[in-house]
Amino acid sequence: MATELENIATGVRKDLITRNEYNYTDEYASTHENALSDGDEKGKGDVDGSVGSKTDVNTRISNLLKNSYSKNSGYGSTHQNAISDGDEKGKGQYEAAGEVGGLTDINTRKDNLGRNDYGKNKQYGINNPNALSDGDEKGKGEQDGSVGGLTDINTRKDNMGRNIYSDNNGYGVTSANAISDGDEKGKGQLDENGTIGGLTDINTRKANLVKNEKYGPNKKQYPDFVI
């Protein structure tokens, strides 16, 4: 008796044979209608010059209809679509004084020119007011000693306003802010008996001295070695 697997295999084979439309008397070959392009989806061969299946043929016909060029109207340097005449197609030059580029190119160029402050009679250079620092945002040169744009100048003025030092009050070893006189700024020494460090340093040191119960100026000094 046939096994269960053999029965399944036989069933699959019969199913595939049923689906197969080719047989000994009607084999698939180069002369078979399904191998020739006759307007259906199967054939890819050549019938009357129409190579490909139905989708191929229709796509080709659709593309031909979309194509605006032909033998009598070929695309070339003299074709209107190759010349820039204000439409989107042409990229060449229309006449001697024409505008090169398509419509978007031309409009973009006009827009940029409209925004441009400079021209043949007003070029940007070291003598242009926009190159000189006169209190506006544009200039970065020097005019009356104010180097930089408006933001630069204002930032500098703001920093100078916060700065307590100047030509007549320079920071140095003799400046009050460099000497430790009990405030937060100085870190130097005021005199021979001065306390070195800022206010926080001095207070921290005093707090530590208070916590020290064993050693101090009037107590045993460390190290206190017994000989």
Range of the domain at 134: 129-159
| Burial bucket for residue 186 (CB in 10 Å: 0-12, 13-18, 19+) | buried
Mean pLDDT: which of 2-11, 119-128, 218-227 is highest?
119-128
Q: Which helix (H) or strand (E) holds 9?
A: helix 4-19
100: helix, coil or strand? coil
The DSSP letter of residue 194 is P
Distance CA 154, CA 163 (A): 14
Contact present, 133 and 148 (Cβ < 8 Å): yes
Distance CA 201, CA 53 (A): 94
- Backbone dihedral region for residue 39 (phi beyond 0: left; psi -120 to 50: alpha; all else: beta): left
Mean pLDDT, to the nearest integer, of 211-219? 71
Residue 138 lies in a domain: yes
Amino acid identity, residue 177? N
pLDDT of residue 190: 75
| Burial bucket for residue 185 (CB in 10 Å: 0-12, 13-18, 19+) | middle
Closest CA to 105 of 94, 117, 118, 121: 94
pLDDT of residue 158: 93
Contact present, 160 and 146 (Cβ < 8 Å): no
Ranking 69-73, 106-110, 120-124, 204-208 by mean pLDDT, the lowest is 204-208
Residue 52 lies in a domain: no
Amino acid identity, residue 33? E
Q: How confident is the model at residue 150 (pLDDT cuts 50, 70, 90)?
A: very high
Residue 111 lies in a domain: no
If one counts the domains in the chain, the total is: 2
Closest CA to 118 of 105, 107, 131: 131
Q: Which helix (H) or strand (E) holds 16?
A: helix 4-19
Residue 108 lies in a domain: no
Q: Are residues 154 and 181 in the same domain?
A: no
Single pTM value for the model: 0.39
Residue 72 lies in a domain: no
Mean pLDDT, to the nearest integer, of 145-155? 88
Using the structure block, give the residue that is written with the tokens 């970065």.
140
Interval 175-209: pLDDT, tens: 889 888 888 888 888 766 667 888 898 888 888 87
Quote the percentage of the chain above a pLDDT of 70. 88
Residue 5 lies in a domain: no
Residue 107 lies in a domain: no
Residue 205 lies in a domain: yes
**Quick one: CA dihedral 163, 167, 169, 171, positive or negative?**
positive
Distance CA 43, CA 30 (A): 10
Ranking 26-40, 120-134, 184-198 by mean pLDDT, the lowest is 184-198
Interval 53-98: pLDDT, tens: 889 888 888 988 899 888 899 999 889 899 888 899 988 887 776 6
